[in-house]
Structure 1
Amino acid sequence: MKNLFIKKMYTLWKEFLPLSISDVTMAMGDPMVNTALAHMPRTQENFAALGFIKSIVVLFESPIISMLHASNALSGKKESREALWRFLFISCGILTTCLLILAIPTVFYWLSVNLFGISNEISSIAHKMFLCLLLWPSSIAIRRYFQGILIINGKQKTLAHAGFFRFFVLLISLFIGFLLNINSGILAGGSMMIGVLAETIFVIFAAQKYRNTFKETKSQKEDIHHLNPKSVKEIWIYYWPLAHSMVLVWGGRALLILFLARAADSSISLAIWPVTWALVLVFANTTRMIQQVIIRNKEKYHPYDFIIFALSVGSILSFFILFLVTSTLGKNTLILFIGQNENLLNGVQKILTICFCIPIFVAMQNVLQGLLMGVGKTKEINFATLSGTAILLMISFLGIYLNFSGAVVAAYSMIISFIIEILILSIKVPWNYYINKYLKR
């Protein structure tokens, strides 16, 4: 029995690691950009501008973040994959048009200065970043569609190679731009865009030979829970709760920036929180591919095997965050990323200490979402996300209203929102269905 358990964990880790590398290299992009900005004039303003722009761009990216999950879950059949491809192009067209409208200077500055309360100096840097990132959501959507095709064909290592390629291109772009003394906004936004375009092109070419390969299993054909949408309308019915969930998540985090801009210590909080959250996501995002492993193997393992696996992943990554704030090497690493600003360093260390458990929460969130997605319960995911986001905004608004430190309020609000969301998801998962499926095998 013990050997069987070890074998299960080994198999899950073996499938997970190549996928996680793709997310790690993606998440490492923000700290690398922060490192470049930390060694340029107006460091604090650069950090604040990048944090603001990332919240806006990722908000527009959020509707298509679940494209990978949908591609992985639905691409086993030709009709579903082709319908998803048509849906993808419609979505990309709408999102890019919205970004182009928002990029108009009068619209952008009204949003940043009047609505978010960002200073003119930070808004000027942010606008240059934004212009460089107009194709960001479309590039991400197309990349994730083809990543799903690669995963369903067992080509996880290709995703890792693509991630390394993106990281290398980003690093080279930052290095060249820094040497040429390019404007900080253009350097940050341009390097990020070049990096993601490079990864997207890599994945497209890698997935071409699998475009007409389909992997529907016998159990999927017989399973009443297995969905087979054949039109854009049917794709939308399946997908909209996932898209709405991500819009809620990133919309809430964008509003968090709005709240921070009105905190008593807004100037330093607007710099500390985005930088710290980017570091936390380096570790937390490493767990996201747990969901893809579950969607692909949902009937091969007992659901509790997935939970134990997720806890092992999240615990290791949480340990690394603690290492950053408790060791001399960790402190030196932080200085490398954010520079010698003592106020920033102390603030980042404090928030990392509070948020060290986030990778565990994200790992559990992905397990539960994957189990729900495997039986088409996407509306339940949406409800849990709505509840968590509402808690996030309520607590952060109250904390800032009471004049607590903005970054500290953001950290505690984020933790509580994750706990609420995980509790709701765990109630909604059809545990008996999965247990019976496993026992029948």
Structure 2
Amino acid sequence: MSKVNGSSRNLLKQFIPMATSDIVMALGDPIIIFVLASLPDSTHYLAAFALGKSIAVFFESPIIPILPTANAMAYQARARKLLFQFTLILSIGLMIGMLLIGCFPALSMFFQVDTSLWQSASLLVLLLCPWPLVISLRRYWQGQIIRAGFTHIIAKGSLLRCLLLTITAFTMAFFTHQGAWIAAAALLTGAVSELLFIRNKINKITLQEDCSASPLPDNLMAMSRYYWPLAQSMISLWGARLLLPLLIAMTSTLNVAIWAAGWALVISISNGVRMLQQLVIRNINHTHKTTLCLFSISIGCSFSLLLFLLATTPWGHEFLHYYAGKQDKLLLGIQDILLVCSLLPLLMSLQNFCQGLHMVQSSTAVIGRSALIANLMLIAGALFMMYLNASPAWFAIIVCLTTLLEVFLLAYQLKNNINDGHTISLMRLIRMIPLKITTRTSIKTINN
């Protein structure tokens, strides 16, 4: 028991800085939304931010796997150099794509979205053109820092990013009421400052070489084959999430404003579990997979509880009251989304645990295939909800159900893989959930 507790404490020591990084990073959107909610015509700017940021994140989605890939390849200099070249090519292509989208606001004709709303959203996309390059380079160096074990650097960089983002957003609001300029200036200032901080730190870190490890891609074509399933999983995920505000916008501007505000809080808290994937990749060779799984479930339950309390308690209501700019319709809609999505962090923790195991096994195709199936179901469900003119909370239900589907698909593939010391059966994974909640070990882990 003491050995398990010791392993959990070690995992928690690694995880807290990384989780802090993702949580602080995700706080950027709620901060910007808080500023936009105080502007004249706040509903318009909130809706435009929801659409514009969703498009920007969709173009960011193919570079999201740069982080775990850099983590997995950090021990071979040749692979690191190859990944850097691949990162530059990919991010420059994405920048050109954002430029084209931002320069053609007439694209609103393909969606039943208000023209002025689309113009504001496309302006935000145009201003955020450097976003893919900045984020991809930051993630490339972050992966190497995580592999070297200096996770506290990641947390410090995110704190710096959040601080400068906040200062920029509030300062810009004094000089202009143009929501697109406020949001773009805040996002880019924070991201660039974090990139410069991370780049400075990586110069002081020496990565150990391990040529005896399993072979990695040795040319751009091999790198593309390795990386594409990971990118495809993120493209399908964020493509589906891009369609969500577009589909919700077809029901009403108020509904998409509710979704923007509510989803920003959900993802800010849920993002705290994303680094579990990096934890699995780094520790699977010297930590038992059951310990990693139980730890992941504990973390997921903790963040799920936080969302539930925010949606149901008086202090949560008071916070949401000010967050929503004291607008009752926004407040009620946000509460519904938070309550529905209370289960999402737990589901995401299991998702990232399974994805980490697949990364170690180099079965990246399973990750891409599972994400594609789940996200096609997400789009189908969202289309049905749009047809019914459903409230944003029903779209949140679809998100949770399709995330659960992806977890089952990932776990099922692990069950059917050849036993190599890293696999875990689907039924065993399910049985661990109530076990962990009721054991003393879980309570100690969460309290620590």
TM over 0.5: yes
Find the counterpart in structure 1 of residue 435 from structure 2. Answer: none
- 1:303 touches 1:431 (CA, 8 Å); kept in 2? no
Shift of 1:258: 2.5
Matched-pair contact (CA < 8 Å) for 1:256–1:396? yes
Summarize the alignment of residues 112-261 of structure 1 with structure 2, pairs less than 5 Å apart: 113-210=108-205, 213-217=206-210, 221=212, 226-261=214-249
| SS state at 1:340 partner | coil
Structure 1 segments, 4+ long, off by >6 Å, are none
**Contact 1:116–1:261 (Cα < 8 Å) also in 2:** no
Give the letter aligned to residue 409 of structure 1: W
Q: CA deviation at 1:216?
A: 4.3
Query: 2:378 is matched with which residue: 380, 392, 415?
Result: 392
Give the structure 2 partner of residue 74 of structure 1: 73
- Cα distance in 1 for partners of 2:271, 2:31 equals 16
* 1-structure distance, mates of 2:202, 2:140: 10
| 2:412 paired residue number | 427
Deviations 1:250-279 (A, max 9, x none): 01111222321233xx22221111211110
Q: 1:304 aligns with which of 283, 290, 296?
A: 290
Amino acid at match of 1:418: T
How far, CA to CA, are the matches of 1:160 and 1:335 in structure 2? Answer: 29
Q: How does 1:214-363 map to 2 (within 5 A)?
A: 214-217=207-210, 221=212, 226-263=214-251, 266-363=252-349
Residue 400 of structure 1 contacts residue 409 of structure 1 at CA under 8 Å; is this kept in 2? no
Contact 2:39–2:177, Cα closer than 8 Å, also in 1: no
How far residue 248 of structure 1 moved from its aligned partner, in angstroms, is 0.5
* Letter in structure 2 aligned against 1:214: L
Greater CA drift, 124-133 or 307-316: 124-133
3-state SS of 1:433 partner: coil
Q: Confirm or deny: 8 A CA contact 1:74 1:227 kept in the other structure.
A: no
What SS does the corresponding residue of 2:419 show, helix, strand or coil? helix
Instruction: Name the CA shift for 1:383/1:435 in 2 (closer, same or farther; >3 Å).
Output: closer
The residue type paired with residue 130 of structure 1 is: V
Q: Is the 8 A contact 1:79 1:229 kept in 2?
A: no
Task: Name the residue aligned to 2:38.
Answer: 39
Matched, 1:415 2:410: no
- The alpha-carbon deviation at position 149 of structure 1 amounts to 1.3
In structure 1, C-alpha distance between the alignment counterparts of 2:423 and 2:70, rounded to whole Å: 26
Q: Aligned to 2:212, what secondary structure does the other structure show? A: helix
How far is the alpha carbon of 1:313 from its aligned partner? 0.6
Structure 1 residue 431, shift from structure 2 partner = 7.5
How far residue 54 of structure 1 moved from its aligned partner, in angstroms, is 1.3
Q: Deviation at 1:117?
A: 2.2
CA contact (8 A) 2:18 2:155 kept: yes
- Verify the 8 A CA contact 1:152 1:215 in the aligned structure 2: no
CA distance in 2, matches of 1:246, 1:125: 26
- SS state of the match for residue 356, structure 1? helix
1:299: how far off? 1.4
What SS class does the counterpart of residue 209 from structure 1 fall into? coil
Kindly provide the amino acid, as one letter, of the partner of residue 141 in structure 1.
S
Shift of 1:402: 2.8
Measure the CA separation in 2 of the matches of 1:399 and 1:126.
23
| Of 98, 103, 110, the match for 2:106 | 110
Query: In 1, distance between residues paired with 2:33 and 2:341?
Result: 19
For residue 221 of structure 1, what is the amino acid of its counterpart? Answer: S
Q: Aligned AA for 1:48?
A: A
Quick check: 1:18–1:159 contact (8 Å CA) kept in 2?
Answer: yes
Mean alpha-carbon deviation: is it higher for 367-376 or for 146-155? 146-155
1:129 and 1:189 map into 2 onto residues whose CA distance is: 6
Amino acid at match of 2:360: G
Contact 1:242 1:378 in 2 (8 A): yes
Residue identity in the other structure for 2:110? L
After TM superposition, give the deviation of residue 400 of structure 1 in Å: 2.1
Consecutive unaligned residues of structure 2, counting only runs of 5 or more, are 425-448
Residues 17 and 279 of structure 1: is their aligned pair in 2 closer, same or farther, counting only changes over 3 Å? same
- Following superposition, the deviation at residue 182 of structure 1 comes to 4.5
Report the AA paired with residue 389 of structure 2: N
Task: Return the alpha-carbon distance in structure 2 between the equivalents of residues 143 and 8 of structure 1.
Answer: 29
Which runs of no fewer than 5 residues in structure 1 stay unpaired? none
**Which letter maps to 2:395?**
A
Q: How does 1:45-60 map to 2 (within 5 A)?
A: 45-60=44-59
- The Cα offsets for residues 99-154 of structure 1, whole Å up to 9 and x where unpaired, read as 112221xx2x222x212322122223223322321111111100000001111111
Task: Report which stretch shifted further, 115-124 or 407-416.
Answer: 115-124
1:173-201: CA deviations, max 9, x gaps?
01211222342220111111111111111
CA distance in 2: counterparts of 1:400 and 1:102, whole angstroms: 24
**2: CA distance, partners of 1:291 / 1:303:** 13
Q: Kindly report the root-mean-square deviation, in angstroms, between the aligned alpha carbons of the 2 structures.
A: 1.6
Quickly say closer, same or farther: Cα 1:42–1:436, change in 2 above 3 A: closer
Give the deviation of 1:436 after TM superposition: 8.7
Please say if residues 103 and 127 of structure 1, whose CA atoms lie closer than 8 Å, have aligned partners that are also in contact: yes
Paired with 1:103 and 1:184, the residues of 2 have a C-alpha distance of 16
Q: Distance in 2 between matches of 1:129 and 1:98?
A: 14
Question: Which residue does 2:389 correspond to in 1?
Answer: 403
CA displacement 1:53-91 (0-9 Å, x = unmatched): 111001100010000011000121011001001111111
The Cα shift of 1:205 comes to 1.0
Q: Which TM-score applies when normalising by structure 2?
A: 0.91
User: How high is the TM-score relative to the length of structure 1?
Assistant: 0.92
1:233 Cα deviation after fit: 1.5
3-state secondary structure, aligned to 2:420: helix
